[in-house]
Amino acid sequence: MKKYSVSAIDSLLASAQKDGYTVVQISEGVLGHGHLLLLAPSPDWYNAEIQEVYLNEWSSAHTVRQFSKFSARIRSLLASVDYSVPV
């Protein structure tokens, strides 16, 4: 899976929020953004899951996975942070 830098994720988050995406933080990161879900404003658009991955003691990277349907795992992640799960 491709890895992205913190600055690349910063740019992604800025443009996603400008487009109306909702950012839900599942867990905080150590050196980066941690675990985030980007929820699309329209059901026709893709949602995204961003996870921080360990590289070494001094740096981390992020992976991005797009999805269109909410799986049971995504629903449980949203429920764990008391976010109302979309239908």
Identify the pLDDT of residue 1: 86
The per-residue DSSP string of the chain comes to ---B-HHHHHHHHHHHHHTTPEEEEEE--SSS--EEEEEPSSTTSPEEEEEEEEEETTEEEEEEEEESS--HHHHHHHHHTTPPPP-
Tell me the pLDDT tens digit for each residue of 28-81.
999 999 999 999 999 999 999 999 999 999 999 999 999 999 999 999 999 999
Under the banding of pLDDT at 50, 70 and 90, the label for residue 84 is: confident
Identify the pLDDT of residue 86: 63
Residue-range domain boundaries for the chain: 6-79
Identify the pLDDT of residue 76: 94
Q: Write down the pTM of the prediction.
A: 0.91
